[in-house]
Amino acid sequence: MPLSSSRFFSSVAGSKILAAVTPTPTPSPTPTPTPAAFKELAIGGGGWLVGMDMDSAGGMIAKADVYGGYIKTKGDARWKELFNTASMPAEDIELYRGQGVYETRFAPSNAQRIYMQLNGWVYRTSNRAATWTKTAFTRLPANSEGRDGNNAYRWYGPKMAVDPINPDVVIATSVIGGVQISRDAGETWTTVTGLPAVGARGWGVCFDPTSATVSGRKQGIYLYCDGTGLYRSTDGGVTFAAVAGGPTQLSQIAISSTGKLWITCYQTPGSFDAYMFDGTNWTTVNVNPAGGTARSPYAVAIHPTDPNRIAICAADGRTSLTTDGGVTWGSYKTWTLTKAGSDVPWLADTGAYFLSAGQLRFDPTEANKLYMSMGVGVIWCNPIVGTGNNIWRSETAGIEELVANTIISIPGGDPLTLNWDRAAISIADPEVFPTSINVPIDPAAEIIHGWHAAYSPQSPMFVGMVANSFHNGAFHSLSGYSVNGGKSFTNFATLPPDMTTDSKLGGNIAVCDTNTIMLFPSDNARPYRSTDRGATWTRMTFPGVTDTYVSTPTGTPQSGWGSNYRFKRSIVTADQVTEGTFYAYNFQTGSVFRTTDKGATWTQRASGLGSKVVNVKLRAVPGTAGKMYLCDGNFANETLTSGNTTGFLRSVDGGATFSPAGTIVGVFDFGFGKAVNGSTPTIVAAGFVNGVFGVYWSADDAATWTLIEQFPASSLDQIVAVNGDMNIAKRFYVGLYGSSYRYVDVP
């Protein structure tokens, strides 16, 4: 769920290649895909499901903040992606069109009909997400709240509503676009006028199921305007009038089958109060009569067939239940997130401190089964009123929502993923969900981001990792080393002062033997080395590099080692044969540097490589001393057939010179895998071959490339990481911006 993650994949500074390089090889024919397809790497959940809805049969849709959404029919074992390349309109099958879903809702009278606000448009499906049609809704402006499913108030709402008796009547709202209504399934839209300016939290909207019906449409509509209060229409949305009283801020609204409207106002300080409006009068309701630490009501759900059964939870997941319409409440219950009966076991390890609630929904087909979309998936319980805890279980299989940073394959070990929020998870079996996570949750931090990791070429079970976060007002670090291939980590005894003094997040790491560590923090910090597993650190200097310390992430001058922790960079690498030799790329000088004495001294090697600020990758080749590849990683305005044409560079002389390798260009990321035959490792890369974007692999040192897939597992999500498997030939991995990882076994 990264609360502050953003897309940082466009070019920030120009990049130029060496003045003199070897000629680019003659292009080969247009690539043909390998007869193989990527599959989901079984991790399960991992990201924030900020909202959900249910149909009358207990089917569900859930929206994610960073990428996509999911749909599930009651009784199915797994969720499915709400949209993909097979279901979206042809004109939207393009790179990086996918984002988090802004809002989505079932039509209550027809579960085949779903509406979805995505990327500034409104889509409609009439076959339960098998195919989507773009409605006539005018797309919202770029960089606006209404185009961002990861906006600051993404769990508020609901921001969209469908008439309970007419699936063609839909209301879509956003801060930038206001309130718009369609009465013909999105063929035309009308902007509602006469409403006040809305606050940053946006709108909440619902139809009154008890209102009058005219021409097959419900006439009663409630509209909550953040900063002003409640408005009501009695003419099907033609006009709205203010309702006196009630709160002026909202988080979520819900309406019962008897027409009672419930409103929660999260972030109202020191209050347990929710609000109920019965069509005439307001009632203030204390949902936690037991008292204790004040936690303002956050999410609300009303049972569709039992209007007296209402659940309200705080942000941390503590839930209070009433079974008499709000007269008495059971007070906030603590929880147990159990592995017993859960489909993704490791999620139970993450919910001990804070559930990060999104929205609540009761299953209409069962008397007392409550679902919560939350920080790592979807969970359910049978909520209680009396004493005890609510026992929650995961129902998340099929949802893959980790925000990937990178994945490494350890020779003789398991692949290790590095991620936002859930720092490190290793994969023993790509088809089986992990039972635990590799880095325990820090109670003080709640979330820790895993940025980068590397294994020792001499002792691959020795792994170094950069993992930290700034959360709850403080810097937290679980950066450290592993001696068992990443199964568990020991925190570094100390950290470089640049990291601790000014909370420098992110960065890159490289290791050799079982003690030596090169640590390059991001945010303009300076590089350090340790020869004692992080017990002590020494700052490294580089000829010609001005690395004046800057105390702000975007300050100047920049050190040239990493300007922003969000970038997907990999700038330091250990020579995979010669112990003690490392290479590092610096964008301030456009140069590669080398050390042969474990970082004590560095010399400049190739220069004129350009200022590759954003997502540059430098990686040494397994099995060959002095050999490495370099890509600039810039993605800016790419399409499936055009984009960055910067070459994929190779050095075979310890970084002294670089020249283009093969026909692939515009490479965002690459990695190495076990050799198919001989000693040449396979290479996998995301880039362009003959003007066609895709994930490619090569078995002949980048001389020729074979296309695997353009969109791994039909996902429209952005590729942010690729790598090969060092133990299984022709197995390759991709990491996605907001939907975890995929893998493929090429025949």
Structural domain spans, the chain: 45-394, 404-745
Q: What is the pTM of this model?
A: 0.93
pLDDT band per the 50, 70, 90 thresholds, residue 10 = very low
**pLDDT tens per residue across span 698-710:** 999 999 999 999 9
- Beta-carbon contacts of residue 157 (< 8 Å; ≥ 6 apart): 51, 103, 202, 203, 204, 205, 252, 253
- Beta-carbon contacts of residue 335 (< 8 Å; ≥ 6 apart): 317, 318, 319, 351, 355, 381, 389, 390, 391, 392
What tokens does 206 get? 């619902």
Phi, then psi, of 501 in degrees rounded to 5: -70, -40
Tell me, yes or no, if the two domains 45-394 and 404-745 fold the same way: yes
* Residues forming beta bridges with residue 406, ordered by sequence position: 418
pLDDT band per the 50, 70, 90 thresholds, residue 679 = confident
Burial of 678 per CB tally in 10 Å (0-12, 13-18, 19+): exposed
Q: What is the DSSP letter of 333?
A: B
**pLDDT tens per residue across span 217-260:** 999 999 999 999 999 999 999 999 999 999 998 899 999 999 99
pLDDT band per the 50, 70, 90 thresholds, residue 22 = very low
Strands 170-174 and 178-182: antiparallel
pLDDT surpassing 50 at residue 17: no
pLDDT surpassing 80 at residue 32: no
CATH superfamily of the domain spanning 404-745: YVTN repeat-like/Quinoprotein amine dehydrogenase (2.130.10.10)
Could you tell me the strand order of the sheet in which 221-225 lies?
A: 203-207, 221-225, 229-233, 241-242
Q: Strand locations in 256-317, DSSP E?
A: 261-264, 273-277, 282-286, 299-302, 310-313
pLDDT for res 434: 93
Contact 415, 408 (CB under 8 A): yes
Q: Give yes or no for a cis peptide into 557 (omega within 30° of 0).
A: yes
Q: How many CB atoms lie within 10 A of CB 561?
A: 26
pLDDT for res 25: 40
Biggest CA pair distance of the chain: 82
Nearest to 46 by CA among 402, 343, 356, 338: 402
- Given the structure tokens 């020779």, which residue do they identify? 411
Alpha-carbon gap, residue 273 to 254, rounded angstroms = 15
pLDDT for res 548: 64
Contact 672, 680 (CB under 8 A): no
For residues 359-371, give the mean pLDDT.
Answer: 98
* Residues forming beta bridges with residue 64, ordered by sequence position: 49
What tokens does 477 get? 């670090």
Alpha-carbon gap, residue 650 to 476, rounded angstroms = 37
CATH, domain 45-394, list 3.40.50.720, 2.40.10.10, 2.130.10.10, 2.40.50.100? 2.130.10.10
pLDDT for res 443: 67
Contact 680, 650 (CB under 8 A): no
pLDDT for res 364: 98
- Beta-carbon contacts of residue 10 (< 8 Å; ≥ 6 apart): 614, 634, 635, 636, 637
What tokens does 291 get? 């008292």
Q: What secondary structure does DSSP assign to 674-705, as a single string? A: --SSTT--EEEEEEEETTEEEEEEESSTTSS-
**pLDDT tens per residue across span 480-503:** 999 999 999 999 999 998 888 777
pLDDT for res 19: 29
**pLDDT tens per residue across span 614-629:** 899 999 999 999 999 9
pLDDT for res 249: 86
pLDDT for res 550: 56
**pLDDT tens per residue across span 131-171:** 999 999 999 998 788 889 999 999 999 999 999 999 999 99
Q: Give yes or no for a cis peptide into 411 (omega within 30° of 0).
A: no
pLDDT band per the 50, 70, 90 thresholds, residue 301 = very high
pLDDT band per the 50, 70, 90 thresholds, residue 14 = very low
What tokens does 503 get? 């909370």
pLDDT surpassing 50 at residue 530: yes
Alpha-carbon gap, residue 467 to 506, rounded angstroms = 7
pLDDT for res 11: 31
* Residues forming beta bridges with residue 204, ordered by sequence position: 224
Above pLDDT 90, what percent of the chain? 76
**pLDDT tens per residue across span 431-455:** 999 998 887 766 666 789 999 999 9
